[in-house]
Amino acid sequence: MSAVASQSILSRGNVTSSLADEAYATIRSQIITLELEPGSLISEATLMNKLHLGRTPIREALRILASEKLVEVFPRRGMFVASVDVKNLASVSEVRAVLEVKAAELAAMRSTSSDRVITIQLIAEIDSIGSTPDMATLIQLDQRIHHHVYECTHNEFLASTLDTYYAHALRIWFLALDRVEGLSAAIIEHRALLEAIRDNDAQRASQAMREHVEGFETTIARNL
């Protein structure tokens, strides 16, 4: 996957235009897509050269990524890209099964008219998925759907927390990407979730999200 494609796949919803945020978004995307290999040593000089940014924004970005457990810091050894351990899948899914389901419920209850416009647009994008969709396009769509659900909760603390766990789930997904079939189906199943949010049906939304999270864990665990 190209650097340009990986940079567009995932960035935090509240990223601003500052240099530190630019560094954060780019490095985070490269970690999630495994462009920066799990367990590899992080070189500030290399990142500065590749991103054409100074040491201060790079260090600030790495500090935030360390707090999200995407970067590991070892005294006297340096900084490393966090490893991807499939054993963590169950733990991540446990958290998502609680928080994502609650987020779906709140999204259905709190979705505004402007939120609804985006919800309908996302449903239309799902309906337009062809028989041989581009992998990067599918993952970008999945990312936008989840972030939209988080935003519809109108709870920035919940949205920020969920974004972190979603990032860890995506890393595991990328690890299994060449072994998992039916990626389109996994995205299409979001239609039921979005319809429930559009209709302000909290019970149906939470059930759809629960089935999605549990299905994700089952599929990845089976293939890895």
pLDDT for the residue numbered 182: 64
- Rounded to the nearest integer, the mean pLDDT of the chain is 88
220/20 Cα distance (integer angstroms): 33
What digits encode the pLDDT tens for the residues 128-158? 987 777 777 888 899 999 999 999 999 999 9
31/171 Cα distance (integer angstroms): 8
CATH class for the domain made up of 88-223: mainly alpha
pLDDT for the residue numbered 186: 81
Residue with more model confidence, 218 or 179? 218
Identify whether the C-beta of residue 72 lies closer than 8 Å to the C-beta of residue 85. no
* pLDDT reading at 94 higher than 60: yes
Reported as a pLDDT band with limits 50, 70 and 90, residue 211 is: very high
List beta partners, residue 41: 80
Percent of the chain with pLDDT over 70: 90
CA-nearest of 86, 78, 108 to 200 is 108
pLDDT for the residue numbered 120: 98
Distances in whole angstroms, Cα of residue 136 to Cα of each of 4, 22, 121, 133, 177: 11, 21, 19, 9, 11
Residue with tokens 């969920």: 162
Percent of the chain with pLDDT over 90: 67
Domain ranges of the chain: 3-81, 88-223
211/161 Cα distance (integer angstroms): 20
pLDDT for the residue numbered 138: 86
Helix, strand, coil % over all residues of the chain, rounded to 5 = 70, 5, 25
Instruction: Specify the fold of 3-81.
Output: Arc Repressor Mutant, subunit A (1.10.10)
pLDDT for the residue numbered 221: 77
pTM score of the predicted model: 0.82
* pLDDT reading at 63 higher than 60: yes
Identical fold for domains 3-81 and 88-223, yes or no, is: no
Mean pLDDT of all residues in 106-119:
98
Residue with tokens 């864990």: 217
